[in-house]
Structure 1
Amino acid sequence: MSLREMSGIGAAVVAGVLVGFSLIVDGLNLWPMPASVSYGSRTLYFSKDLQLRTEESNYSDVSGILKDGFSRMIDVIQTTHVVDGNVPSSGALHGLHVRIFSLDDELNFGTDETYKLFIPESGDDTYAYIEAQTVYGALHAFETFSQLCIFNFDTRIYEIHSAPWKIVDGPRFPYRGLLIDTSRHFLPLPIIKKVIDSMSFTKLNVLHWHIVDRESFPIQTPSYPNLWKGAYSYSERYTVDDAQEIVQYAKIRGINVLAEIDVPGHAHSWGFGYPSLWPAVDCPEPLDVSKEFAFQVLDGILSDFKKIFKFKFVHLGGDEVNTTCWTTTPHISKWLKEHHMNASDAYTYFVLRAQKIALSHDYEVINWEETFNNFGEKLSRKTVIHNWLGRGVAEKVVASGLRCIVSNQDKWYLDHLDATWEGFYMNEPLENITKPEQQKLVLGGEVCMWGETVDASDIEQTIWPRAAAAAERLWSPIGKLATNPNQVATRLAHFRCLLNQRGVAAAPLFGLGRAIPPHQDSCMRQ
């Protein structure tokens, strides 16, 4: 059966019904839930040498993304147990036959991530089939396939139950993000890579890298090399090559990297390398709006970034700008009077000029919501507003014709340890947005792992499994989402245990963020 024949599949997704935390029917343990699923009752057995076939694909895989993704999938499946059993000659699955239609592997905002997956029930030369427009859709299919694989402790081989499987899938939103913050606590490259790996397991596709802030400036910027004097220490820094490594590592997993430099506030650390960026030594931020040098440095940073971060967007912050240092520093106060500005005008001036600089480097700009709340009508029409303060903002943003990303802090801030997975799951980006043309302006959402209280020792258990709850909200069609989080509790608990098996330090499901296991029992009951 070809995957083209699957395009009309409309089988309902089978969901588990909870009694306490136990399923009373055969559970569909996939996360996030695919758009369309049907399955049967047969069992297939993994061949010890699973093969990748691509002879009908238009995609040549010169960069090796597909082959690498296939190898990672095999490693993820087989990492939890030693396979030393004999595979039956009948019912063996010999490999995956992948067909990709797009010739290239360009990754950016809006890249097609849809896929179709068909796993037959039997055959003499049994292969699973994947069709995808791009290689990145195929990577998502690999992840779904990996979650269908179960280790048999009696035969000591991997199996796929309930064949045949027919899955047609794709994301609800094109932007599904996770923010990490390397300014409050430095995160070593292996930790960032582990976060990226776990993002791919949940089909999140944007790593929002909040690189610098008032506390530290850890990244190398060749145009202004003294900036990283604002790093916490000599060793807590990222070179250009390090940043490029992260971008490439993320790309081959289907994940874009969004770089953020937050201006004009949150910039104290900039002045350790260039003190003239401070309004005054004892009043170090926002950046000195009266000096051309501030905008020259910003231009240099964005010029350097453009060589590393290829994503369509750059994040320029613009939040929490306390303008006191502008009005109390004599030379800036004088400049404001000469330019007939008050502090609010200067804030607007800085943000708009920063936007123009970013646009000149062929970036589209994301700003935190304060810019919209204060002077939204003056922003570039290419601006994306990043909601964080609370609900009700997104509907105002899209009504104005601007695009929006939702991260309301009461539900999707991971540093809020009292924010439960249930709240993450039920947070709806399109709340009170009913017009189709306005719904399209909501690009998606993002969960935010601010770094004040996390470092390499505890970031994983603070992110997971709560971020996975939001990931299903952003991936699965609205009709497949549960109306009560209790309906998905067992499935999410299963996924959390799967993350643990894959080496991800996901915290217990039933407790507050970063909770310890509450008692001695199965992973599924924690």
Structure 2
Amino acid sequence: MALNHLLLLLLLILLSLSITITSSSSPVTANHDSPPYLWPLPAEFTSGEETLSVDPSLSLTVAGNGGGSPIVRAAFDRYTGMIFKHAYNRASSLLTRIRFLSVVEYDITSLKIIVHSDSEELQLGVDESYSLMVSKKNDQSIVGAATIEANTVYGALRGLETFSQLCAFDYLTKSVQIYKAPWFIQDKPRFKYRGLLIDTSRHYLPIDVIKQIIESMSFAKLNVLHWHIVDEQSFPLETPTYPNLWKGAYSRWERYTVEDASEIVRFAKMRGINVMAELDVPGHAESWGTGYPDLWPSPSCREPLDVTKNFTFDVISGILTDMRKIFPFEFFHLGGDEVNTDCWKNTTHVKEWLQGRNFTSKDAYKYFVLRAQQIAISKNWTPVNWEETFSSFGKYLDPRTVVQNWLVSDICQKAVAKGFRCIFSNQGYWYLDHLDVPWDQVYNTEPLNGIHDPSQQKLVIGGEVCMWGETADTSVVLQTIWPRAAAAAERMWSTREAVSKGNITLTALPRLHYFRCLLNNRGVPAAPVDNWYARRPPSGPGSCYAQ
């Protein structure tokens, strides 16, 4: 109590002496060394020529039905931690605050976040639009402020990311500044689905690494983590209904409990990111038989799964029942790719089953996929399948099916012409394990190429870059994802006109360099942008902003 009285007395003395307070930065044109490069580029914005200082004790004011959401408040704490990590300690003592206030007046002292809806439901197409205004105090206002206004908490999150990118630490003044103010930004995404696939079957990724990937996704405004959890190599997920399945994990230490998976979903939601789980059937499923050998057609035919047994579909139903308790996102991925049915034709009981139904092996493949789809639909999921299902028997797919492209460049064009929704993931440019694909080829790849009918364009719900795990484990996964995933992220967020005009070495490359360095500064080991081969270290000494 005595200390509090002393601090209060000091504050009163300072006020009574009418100490002259000076600004830490008068309005000047920002120099080129610290440009406020934004990534992805907002839909609409204007800026000025002033430099504004930001109070390290930046306060949060909320308004609207959803302004008080824990999601908003947690995000504000995260972002202020990133913005002010070099600067004044926000948790420092009142005495230190008085010392700072005695010599500095800041242009931006508060951030107001207005969220109109109190709903925190996160599904496809949630409103992510926002407006952001940053200006200094003037004759009409004695308090400088920034204001984010959004219809949902998830729009507010996107606005916070943009605000954080406007803030730069000045090493000379040891303060956070915003260049080229005032800023007026109106922003919204071009596509509702902007995804990144991770593969935890080919290489196990620890929980903290997955969280770091999710955190980094939010910096680029990606909004769907496609979690390819299991494959032929390993089955790391706990499934209580069929507890022996995770015997197919690489080891007892490379597994995800139900609680682990639920925590990943919770962590992602706090950052406005949905998690779409994938259970790839009937191929890519050899690991299932480690715990339940009856799922294999025979010891020498370990995939595709045994199409003849109801037990196979009982297991699929049980897994989906367990996963529905974890994954609230409306989409569920059922795979369906790269199904080699040769061993079905060469396994006696499967061959007899085919003959008894007058089925070809292709018919059996269709039967399996369609039956799996109905199981997913019965659990209130919309099925997503890889493009082979559409190419092989598209007219039989449930009309709610979302087709994911990867092989053929015009598959989305064909799928939407038939009324299906499509996710663009062309392997030639958006498969991140293709290390010889540079950033500019990723950036220039357009999901709507060849689709001219506006009603069909709307059926392309977005795109996804895929980080397949055969050659990427914890040691390299983040530098393989970044910065090339950012190139696709801007393609999916920003307007088509903005990303398609001009020389991208002038309009995009400097900003991508800056964004890569922002990732590095936030602890994300993004590789150099200018690598001729992805994820390699720099070829020699140099600035982050020139590599």
User: Which residue in the other structure is 1:20 paired with?
Assistant: none
User: Which residue in the other structure is 2:73 paired with?
Assistant: 67
1:516 aligns with 2:537: yes
Contact residue 80 and residue 502 of structure 1 kept, 8 A: no
1:249 aligns with 2:267: yes
Shift of residue 92 of structure 1? 2.5
Q: Identify which of 342, 349, 363 aligns with 2:367.
A: 349
User: Which residue in the other structure is 2:170 paired with?
Assistant: 152
Distance (whole Å) between structure 2 residues aligned to residue 78 and residue 161 of structure 1: 16
Contact residue 43 and residue 121 of structure 1 kept, 8 A: no
Report the 3-state secondary structure (helix = DSSP H, G, I; strand = E; otherwise coil) of the residue aligned with 2:287: helix
User: Which residue in the other structure is 1:57 paired with?
Assistant: 64
Alignment map for 1:383-462 (pairs within 5 Å): 383-462=401-480
Contact residue 91 and residue 122 of structure 1 kept, 8 A: no
Deviations 1:140-186 (A, max 9, x none): 00000000111111211111122110000000000000000000000
Give me the TM-score of the superposition, normalised by structure 2.
0.90
Shift of residue 125 of structure 1? 1.3
Which residues of structure 1 form unaligned runs of 5+? 1-22
User: In 2 relative to 1, CA 25–464 (structure 1 residues): closer, same or farther, beyond 3 Å?
Assistant: closer
1:32 aligns with 2:36: no
Shift of residue 89 of structure 1? 4.4
Alignment map for 1:181-260 (pairs within 5 Å): 181-260=199-278
Contact residue 37 and residue 168 of structure 1 kept, 8 A: yes
Q: Identify which of 269, 275, 280 aligns with 1:262.
A: 280
Shift of residue 109 of structure 1? 0.7
Cα RMSD for the two superposed structures: 1.6
Report the 3-state secondary structure (helix = DSSP H, G, I; strand = E; otherwise coil) of the residue aligned with 1:461: helix
Q: Identify which of 126, 131, 140 aligns with 1:111.
A: 126
Report the 3-state secondary structure (helix = DSSP H, G, I; strand = E; otherwise coil) of the residue aligned with 1:225: coil
User: Which residue in the other structure is 2:517 paired with?
Assistant: 497
Q: Give the counterpart letter for 1:327 in structure 2.
A: K
Contact residue 465 and residue 496 of structure 1 kept, 8 A: yes
Distance (whole Å) between structure 1 residues aligned to residue 355 and residue 153 of structure 2: 56
Aligned identity (percent) is: 54
Alignment map for 1:320-399 (pairs within 5 Å): 320-399=338-417
Contact residue 124 and residue 193 of structure 2 kept, 8 A: yes
Q: Give the counterpart letter for 2:518 in structure 1.
A: L
User: In 2 relative to 1, CA 394–80 (structure 1 residues): closer, same or farther, beyond 3 Å?
Assistant: farther
Q: Which stretch of structure 1 is more off in the superposition, 122-131 or 312-321? A: 122-131
Q: Identify which of 171, 176, 181 aligns with 2:189.
A: 171
Shift of residue 26 of structure 1? 8.9
Q: Which is higher, the Rg of structure 1 or of structure 2? A: 2
1:41 aligns with 2:49: yes
Give me the TM-score of the superposition, normalised by structure 1.
0.93
Distance (whole Å) between structure 2 residues aligned to residue 44 and residue 486 of structure 1: 29
Distance (whole Å) between structure 1 residues aligned to residue 88 and residue 359 of structure 2: 70
Distance (whole Å) between structure 2 residues aligned to residue 79 and residue 272 of structure 1: 48
Shift of residue 518 of structure 1? 1.5
Shift of residue 340 of structure 1? 1.2
Deviations 1:258-300 (A, max 9, x none): 0001000000000000000001111100000000000000000
Runs of 4+ residues over 3 Å off in structure 1: 23-28, 80-91
Report the 3-state secondary structure (helix = DSSP H, G, I; strand = E; otherwise coil) of the residue aligned with 1:33: coil
Report the 3-state secondary structure (helix = DSSP H, G, I; strand = E; otherwise coil) of the residue aligned with 1:506: coil
Contact residue 38 and residue 167 of structure 1 kept, 8 A: yes
Alignment map for 1:6-17 (pairs within 5 Å): none
Distance (whole Å) between structure 2 residues aligned to residue 362 and residue 61 of structure 1: 31
Distance (whole Å) between structure 2 residues aligned to residue 378 and residue 51 of structure 1: 56
Q: Which stretch of structure 1 is more off in the superposition, 493-502 or 78-87? A: 78-87
Q: Give the counterpart letter for 2:541 in structure 1.
A: Q
Distance (whole Å) between structure 2 residues aligned to residue 53 and residue 93 of structure 1: 13
User: In 2 relative to 1, CA 369–291 (structure 1 residues): closer, same or farther, beyond 3 Å?
Assistant: same
Q: Which stretch of structure 1 is more off in the superposition, 152-161 or 350-359? A: 152-161
